Structure 1
């Protein structure tokens, strides 16, 4: 973990089949309404999906995707940085954690907000940087990312958990 400029940086590395040297985000725009990733461009050997690197504007979803996103991610409105398949994958993955978090509504909401933002936020490029890409079946896929959250967000995610687990 690296502390820098009042925020925490976490690095996630995905499985790589063939690594492409990391000028993954050369020329990519980091600003509001821009995506760092969009769509699914491959699958790992364990069946997990791999996102496509995508340094382009966020996309207006159709009505079905918009209503799906709103049902799980009410803070995300308007354009998105996820396809319906990415969203359906997100929903199935977070469903596995809900039984463990249901006793703490604030913890559950924070958990959902974090993964909703990472997956679908229309301003994803402001807090996600694709650090490396890999070629899988002749498609470029996201192999590694850095994502940035502020100390305020960290406190928001951990405070409800501490409060709900304290014993009077």
Structure 2
């Protein structure tokens, strides 16, 4: 009994230690501290006024200070980082307006999958506004770089490895990401964002990957196939389609051992066989019809030939008889003519004899 009680006490103590470490991992016991500050360009007449042009910003500089609640930019913060509304943050009013202007690009490039766009916005919101910014961002001096003709702030940002992978997986099927030479991996995509910040934020960021919870940029990233009801942490979102989210595609129903008919399209096969049968029946019908017509034609020709032969035979007999009759008639006529000739000659002779006697 004593041993069981001791084991139970040890289990509770271990659980408390793990819980404390878990809370410490998310920075709950850290002192909020900011590491850099940015702002908008103003002339002398615009001092103390809201940012006149968010697209025209100053180069950020290293500045250790404490987070504050934004005052004049809350309506913009609610749109770009809604889950941070009302909190003490490291981003000032100018930086919020600058982010609001830059996030329009995120919406235009990644709006086809709003969960990807939401993850990107959260990433830059945490980087710019997190009250524990100085723990994961090292800001150095301003330097001139080859890419631009103005000085930029050099920074190194430590990021939780899982955040990078989850962010990339939610966006990797986006056409803009797939078109990038560096968009073929999570590291390449992150480095692209860091170099792109030279133009959009006048900072040049290099990233380090770490799992140290006290010195890393960490936030929950949402998978692109997450089922949503219209809003997520204040962001308006909609379901990502299979075109922009690989894990949202319906899996193919397949087995380790394909069956005999796997891969066959039964409907197509039935249509093909029915068509072949119908074609065979039609061909057979046409063939038989042709044979019947041919036999009838042959019979008709045979009958016609027989009639013609019969008529020819009868005609030949009749012709022969007619020729015989004609020949007989001719013979009779000749004989009769000969007889008449003889009679006439005798009469002439008798007349001559009479004439001679009278003359005498």
- TM-score, with length taken from structure 2: 0.32
Distance 1:131 1:111 in 2: 24
Would you say 1:72 and 2:80 are equivalent positions? yes
In the other structure, the counterpart of 1:35 is: 34
Residue aligned with 1:147, SS = strand
Superposition pairs of residues 4-83 of structure 1, within 5 angstroms: 32-40=31-39, 48-62=57-71, 64-77=72-85, 78-83=87-92
Superposition pairs of residues 81-120 of structure 1, within 5 angstroms: 81-120=90-129
Report deviation, 1:59.
1.7
Residue aligned with 1:149, SS = strand
Extract structure 1 runs of 4+ deviating beyond 6 A.
Answer: none
Equivalent of 2:161 in 128, 131, 151: 151
Report deviation, 1:102.
0.8
Give the structure, 1 or 2, with the largest relative contact order (CA under 8 Å, sep 6 or more): 1
Where does the alignment leave 5 or more consecutive residues of structure 1 unmatched? 1-30, 135-140
In the other structure, the counterpart of 2:177 is: none
Aligned CA RMSD, in angstroms, stands at: 2.9
**Which has the larger share of strand?**
1
Report deviation, 1:159.
2.0
C-alpha contact 1:42 1:51 (8 A) present in aligned 2: no
State how many pairs are aligned: 130
* 1:39-88 deviations in Å (ceiling 9; x for gaps): 33879xx95531131112112322x4334323211232411112211111
In the other structure, the counterpart of 2:341 is: none
Would you say 1:129 and 2:128 are equivalent positions? no
Report deviation, 1:129.
0.7
**Which has the larger share of helix?**
2
C-alpha contact 2:38 2:58 (8 A) present in aligned 1: no
Residue aligned with 1:96, SS = helix
